[in-house]
């Protein structure tokens, strides 16, 4: 087997310098220290998008941000991205192989348990390093009136027997669970408008982040008596928890599902540091 280096791509000072191993007529490209690291980011969160933007500005990395495509309009993240499921673990394995991704970052929402399971299984089988980007869960503080339930299926019973005005800030996918408590009036907030599968319900379409002032105004205008929330832990959606605290509104808080034990960092800066430490090449900033 002969080994030869090919000329660096012209133009950019940050252009990678691939090494070609040629064997007969076939040429096999391998990553040299200056080749960008190919990172697949499983997104659907603001943290995933922020990480993708950070990596796009750093020549050491070539990142692809993946969305499930749940919302009607994917907001252009301003970075290379793809939309749609992979087709379970086999599909994700095929994608990792065909695109040559070298690292997988699971930056999905803490309640996207299926995707995280699939990511852990595929990464183990493909022997691709996997990092989870997930901040800590919210915890109760003075003035909070939380009732913690283990899953969304347990939330309707926690609303009580008396009719209440209930704010469901849980997205649209699990709203049907509340058909078991039809005596409440529900206000549902979701990214896209939809026809709710509940008799006494209204939908408001809105996409976060949300500010405390507007959350307080919403609670007062709608005379919210109970809030149902997932324990997302994300700063961009915490204002509703603060609003509930200030107004003395009880919260039915759905605990996070358990996820596979994988190496986890709490924020974007730590994710970049992990990528650099374990897999990155020397600094090559793209002028940002
Ligand atoms: P899920 O139940 O864990 O995943 C169901 C399926 O959706 C997965 O098996 C996968 O399909 C596909 N999928 C999920 N995330 C994907 C991604 N980032 N890229 C490509 N395919 C993805 O997920 P979910 O709870 O429906 O959430 C869907 C998306 O919305 C996630 O990206 C998540 O980050 C975001 N999100 C979820 C919540 C929530 O409360 N669950 C809240 C905010 C944002 P295949 O098996 O076909 O690959």
Instruction: Report pLDDT digits (tens) over 191-242.
Output: 999 999 999 999 999 998 999 999 999 999 999 999 999 999 999 899 999 9
Q: Which two tokens stand for residue 70?
A: 């749940």
Instruction: Compute the distance between CA of residue 26 and CA of residue 167 in angstroms, rounded to an integer.
Output: 62
Ligand 1 centroid, distance to 114 Cα (angstroms): 7
Nearest residue (CA) to ligand 1, atom 6: 115
> How far is ligand 1, taken at its centre, from the CA of residue 233, in Å?
17
pLDDT higher than threshold 90 for residue 22 = no
Does the beta carbon of 113 lie inside 6 Å of ligand 1?
yes
Smallest CA-to-CA distance from 45 within 72, 73, 65, 64 is with 65
- Which residue intervals of the chain are DSSP H helices? 46-56, 88-99, 113-126, 212-221, 239-247, 268-279
With cut-offs at 50, 70 and 90, classify the pLDDT of residue 26.
very low
Whole-prediction pTM: 0.87
């Amino acid at each position: 087997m002969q080994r030869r280096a090919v000329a660096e791509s012209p133009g950019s000072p940050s252009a990678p310098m691939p090494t070609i191993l040629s064997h007969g007529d076939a040429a096999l490209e391998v990553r040299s220290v200056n080749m960008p690291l190919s990172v697949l980011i499983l997104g659907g969160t603001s943290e995933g998008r922020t990480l993708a933007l950070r990596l796009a500005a750093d020549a050491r990395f070539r990142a692809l941000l993946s969305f499930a495509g749940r919302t009607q309009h994917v907001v252009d993240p301003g970075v290379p991205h793809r939309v749609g499921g992979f087709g379970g673990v086999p599909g994700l394995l095929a994608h990792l192989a065909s695109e040559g991704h070298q690292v997988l970052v699971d930056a999905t929402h803490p309640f996207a348990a299926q995707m995280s399971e699939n990511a852990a299984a595929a990464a183990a089988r493909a022997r691709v390093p996997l990092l989870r980007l997930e901040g800590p869960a919210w915890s109760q503080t003075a003035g909070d009136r939380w009732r913690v339930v283990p899953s969304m299926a347990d939330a309707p019973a926690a609303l009580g027997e008396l009719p209440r005005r209930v704010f469901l800030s849980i997205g649209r996918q699990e709203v049907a669970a509340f058909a078991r408590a039809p005596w409440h009036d529900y206000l549902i907030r979701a990214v896209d408008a939809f026809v709710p599968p509940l008799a006494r319900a209204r939908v408001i379409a809105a996409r976060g982040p949300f500010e405390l002032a507007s959350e307080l105004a919403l609670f007062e205008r709608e005379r919210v008596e109970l809030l149902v929330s997932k324990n997302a832990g994300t700063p961009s959606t915490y204002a509703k928890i603060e609003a509930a605290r200030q107004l003395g509104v009880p919260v039915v808080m759905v605990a996070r599902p358990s996820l596979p034990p994988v190496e986890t960092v709490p924020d974007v800066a730590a994710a970049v540091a992990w990528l650099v430490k374990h897999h990155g090449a020397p600094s090559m900033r793209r002028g940002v």
